[in-house]
Amino acid sequence: MIPLAMALRRRGFSVRVVSQFNLSASIPQLADALKIQVEALRDAAQEEWGQRPDVHFVTHSMGGIVVRSMLSRHEISGMNRVVMLAPPNRGSRLAAHWRDQVLRFPWGSFDPLRKLLPGERGDCATAGDPDAEIGIIAGTASFPSGLPWSLVDYTPSGGFSFSSGGSGEHDGKVALDEVELGGATDLVVVDRGHTFMMAMPDVVEHCVAFLREGRFRT
């Protein structure tokens, strides 16, 4: 996310990059931890600037689900807009495939993919629908990303196959129908893969437009 943060700073935003260790924690646990991190950053900004700043979020992948959960579980004053890059809002069939068919999780209490499972099996679909302006950027990569695990095609039976490029219905990890969120304000689809979407110039411009205007550029 650092290249995106740098691009947003050049456009006048004050940006903080927040990281979380998320292998064993559930989405609600990550959301509660993020609330503490966000308020600590706002406390520091208030001390520096003399006023408490509004806060916006730009997330990638599961980060969007964590922010959804945080804003549903906690009240954060001055929150206006959220840009989600490739969020598995309905859970990830690919995560379910890897967990259930390939890696055969859980390994005892260690079950890092459980939170990403579709429907009630995971934490994504039930993360909440917060009162916020949410813009979603979805990817449909038409060329390989260079990462073998991103080159995946969905099959009609619900399985997966590896290919030399994307099928046009997913970004290599998250399918178009998995990013959908009923309360979203706007959605745009870009010809980008999942892993490095945030570093692409068109994605940066979409982020800037939504943060400033509440709509993606046309």
Q: Is 209 a domain residue? A: yes
More confident residue, 150 or 132: 132
- Total domains in the chain come to 1
Identify the pLDDT of residue 97: 84
Is residue 148 one of the residues assigned to a domain?
yes
Query: Of 18, 32, 98, which is closest to residue 63 (Cα–Cα)?
Result: 18
Residue 97 within any structural domain of the chain: no
Given a cut of 50, whether residue 158 has pLDDT beyond it is yes
The answer to whether residues 31 and 70 touch, using CB atoms and an 8 Å cutoff, is yes
Query: Whole-angstrom Cα distance, residue 65 to residue 47?
Result: 30
Task: Specify if 76 maps to a domain.
Answer: yes
Asked if residue 173 has pLDDT above 80, the reply is yes
pLDDT at 152 over 60: no
Interstrand relation of 152-154 and 160-162 (parallel, antiparallel or unpaired): antiparallel
**pLDDT, tens digit, 9 for 90 and up, residues 42-90:** 999 999 999 999 999 999 999 999 999 999 999 998 877 999 999 999 9
Task: For residue 37, give the CATH number of its domain.
Answer: 3.40.50.1820
Its domain, for residue 168, covers: 2-92+125-213
Residue 129 has pLDDT above 80, yes or no: yes
Q: 178 in a domain, yes or no?
A: yes
The first and second tokens of residue 8, run together, are 């947003």
Q: Identify the three-state secondary structure at position 151.
A: coil
**Can you give the pLDDT at residue 146?**
44
HSE-up of residue 25 (Cα within 13 Å, Cβ side): 14
For residue 86, tell me if it sits in a domain. yes
In a domain, 194, yes or no: yes
Structural element, H or E, at residue 58: strand 55-60
Contact 205, 211 (CB under 8 A): no
Residue 133 lies in a domain: yes
**What's the CA gap between 4 and 8, in Å, rounded?**
6
Q: In the sheet where 133-139 sits, what is the strand order? A: 55-60, 79-85, 133-139, 186-190
| Mean pLDDT, rounded, for 107-135 | 91
